[in-house]
Amino acid sequence: MQHRSFLSTIDSIRIPTSVQEALKYENWIRAMNEEISALERNETWEIVERPKDKKAVGCRWIYTVKYKSDSTLDRYKARLVAKGYAQTYGIDYEETFAPVTKMNTVRIIFSLAAHFG
């Protein structure tokens, strides 16, 4: 019975495919504002003059819905991501993005290292 409730919850929430679509809903606007605030708070970027002979790497919004373990809605999440396919190897790769490791992965590696010495 609980899985039916979870499936109906998933189907009831529309995930936008564009910014124009997301801007029609207060929940997605709030999620985008939270993401921008987090990027500014963490000093993720700084505004600089673009060299005349260079193109800026574009970005786009990715939208997801997060659920709690009991299948209830946790929050709407919006992420601003760089369009990595627009980068040129060796030219604009530096400080463009940073890979992140999940804490569970780090714990597993430590436990394996401790186990095998």
* pTM for this model (two decimals): 0.60
pLDDT tens string, the chain, 117 residues long: the values are 555 555 555 556 788 889 999 999 999 999 999 999 999 999 888 888 999 988 888 888 999 988 888 778 889 999 998 876 655 556 555 555 556 778 888 889 999 999 998
Enter the tokens of residue 92.
């604009």
Is the distance from CB of 13 to CB of 73 less than 8 angstroms?
yes
Q: Which two tokens stand for residue 112?
A: 């394996």
